[in-house]
């Protein structure tokens, strides 16, 4: 008889709480886990004491066991340190993607084995199924449209996919989730979503960097692509590619941040037309659908969580993938992820260089 014992990651929010209900209905033996990720209790974050208590209350109400496990060391090592390192090197990180790889589908997987769970589950809007066409388990887009979260799942190990359950895969909107929570009298039914980086709930990442790293305000020159000095900046970490407002310089045409010169402590700006790129390279790749891209392959690509997919061709060269877009793309940002799809199947991704 198949072991249908599942370890469910629970943040105390409505998505993971309803996931527990759905998994029980599907015949799983559910075990809840809340990961302790921070040294300090950060008010408003998804992983503070209140959230842990919310998750425990839901588990008690549903009569399923709940564990709260300390993963602060792993989170600091793999997520917070990566976040700081990226900004130190003029790159823009996506900490949710690192957390999914190393915590939710890394450390949590080890815990699942210790608790004799054959599956792990989260409240992500995504779908897993066996593909006859590709002869393997795949991750597919959920029915949630803009709320689909496959973009942040590309780094998980492909051998794990057959052991993952995404109970929210077929829901089209959050109101359907809240309705189930209300019908089941869950106290988190009206709990607001957490939209910000979990360890920076006020959204002020600049303050976080200044207080938790060697990154401090350091003035330098703002130059254009010809090398002309146009003004002064307050520190490279205060700017993002594509930024227009807050540059503090006047010019005959609108100017946007194009990039950085870390060695010379310069912010490089230019006209909007200079923001567009037709070819990029990604490294640190992870492929879920194939073991290797052996020939030019037509895909769609997302270069930000909120961006639309763009048609492109990809080809792999050793440990890097070259992406050739059909149409030039705006404000491609090093450190972010480029994620590939074939139809609605998640092919894989890489970190933009």
Dump pLDDT digits (tens) for 210-262. 999 999 999 999 999 999 999 999 999 999 999 999 999 989 999 999 999 99
CA angle, residues 300, 302, 305, in degrees to nearest 5? 150
Out of 47, 59, 99, 117, the active site residue is 99
Helix, strand or coil, per DSSP, at residue 43 = coil
Question: What's the mean pLDDT when you consider all of the chain?
Answer: 94
121 is a domain residue: yes
193 is a domain residue: no
198, with CB counted inside 10 A (0-12, 13-18, 19+), is: buried
- Chain centre to alpha carbon of residue 75: 14
pLDDT at 114 over 60: yes
**What is the reported pLDDT for 157?**
96
Final residue belonging to a domain, choices 128, 162, 183: 183
Residues 90 and 45 in one domain: yes
What is the per-residue pLDDT across 294-305, written as a single tens digit (0 to 9) for each?
999 999 999 999
What DSSP string describes 220-258? EEEEETT--EEEEES-GGG--TT--TT-----SS--EEE
What is the per-residue pLDDT across 10-20, written as a single tens digit (0 to 9) for each?
999 999 999 99
Report how far residue 141's alpha carbon sits from residue 148's, in angstroms, rounded to the nearest whole number. 6
**What is the reported pLDDT for 142?**
95
200 is a domain residue: no
Residues 98 and 9 in one domain: yes
pLDDT at 28 over 90: yes
pTM: 0.94
Residue 321's CATH number = 2.40.30.10
101 is a domain residue: yes
**What is the reported pLDDT for 192?**
84
Residues 41 and 175 in one domain: yes
What is the per-residue pLDDT across 160-206, written as a single tens digit (0 to 9) for each?
999 999 999 999 988 999 999 999 999 898 888 876 788 898 889 99
Residue 259's CATH number = 2.30.30.280
Residues 134 and 16 in one domain: yes
Per-residue pLDDT averaged across 325-329, rounded?
98
**Number of domains observed in the structure of the chain:** 3
88 is a domain residue: yes
283 or 147, which is more confident:
283
pLDDT at 2 over 80: no
- Per the structure, the complete domain to which residue 233 belongs is given by 217-270
- Strands (E) located in the chain: 5-9, 29-36, 66-70, 119-121, 126-131, 136-141, 164-165, 220-224, 229-233, 256-261, 266-270, 276-287, 297-302, 310-317, 320-330, 337-342, 345-352
Range with the poorest average pLDDT among 60-69, 126-135, 184-193, 277-286? 184-193
Q: What percentage of the chain reaches a pLDDT higher than 90?
A: 87
Residues 118 and 250 in one domain: no
**Residue 59: active-site member:** no
Residues 22 and 130 in one domain: yes
Q: Are 132 and 87 in contact (CB under 8 A)?
A: no
**Residue 86: active-site member:** no
């Amino acid at each position: 008889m198949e072991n249908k014992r599942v370890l469910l990651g629970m943040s105390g929010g409505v998505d993971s709480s309803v996931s527990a209900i759905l998994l029980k209905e599907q015949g799983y033996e559910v075990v809840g886990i809340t990961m302790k990720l921070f040294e300090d209790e950060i008010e408003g974050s998804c992983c503070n004491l209140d959230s842990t208590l919310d998750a425990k209350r839901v588990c008690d109400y549903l009569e399923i066991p709940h564990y709260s496990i300390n993963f602060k060391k792993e989170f600091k090592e793999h997520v917070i340190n990566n976040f700081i390192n990226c900004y130190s090197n003029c790159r823009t990180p996506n900490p949710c993607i690192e957390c999914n790889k190393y915590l939710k589908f890394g450390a949590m997987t080890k815990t699942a084995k210790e608790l004799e769970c054959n599956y792990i589950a989260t409240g992500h809007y995504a779908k897993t199924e066996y593909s006859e066409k590709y002869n393997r388990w795949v991750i597919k887009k959920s029915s949630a449209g803009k709320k689909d979260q496959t973009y942040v799942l590309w780094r998980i190990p492909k051998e794990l996919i057959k052991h993952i359950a995404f109970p929210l895969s077929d829901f089209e909107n959050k109101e359907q989730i809240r309705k189930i929570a209300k019908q089941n009298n869950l106290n988190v039914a009206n709990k607001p979503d957490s939209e910000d980086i979990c360890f920076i709930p006020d959204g002020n990442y600049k303050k976080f960097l200044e207080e938790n790293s060697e990154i401090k305000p350091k003035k330098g020159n703002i130059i254009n692509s010809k090398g002309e000095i146009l003004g002064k900046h307050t520190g490279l970490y205060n700017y993002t590619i594509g930024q227009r407002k807050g540059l503090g310089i006047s010019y005959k045409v609108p100017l946007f941040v194009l990039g950085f010169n870390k060695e010379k402590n310069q912010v490089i700006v230019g006209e909007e037309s200079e923001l567009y790129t037709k070819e990029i390279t990604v490294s640190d790749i992870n492929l879920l659908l194939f073991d290797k891209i052996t020939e030019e392959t037509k895909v769609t690509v997302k270069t930000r969580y909120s961006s639309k997919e763009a048609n492109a061709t990809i080809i792999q060269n050793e440990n890097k993938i070259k992406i050739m877009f059909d149409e030039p793309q705006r404000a491609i940002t090093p450190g972010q992820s480029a994620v590939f799809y074939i139809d609605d199947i998640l092919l894989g991704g890489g970190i933009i260089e």
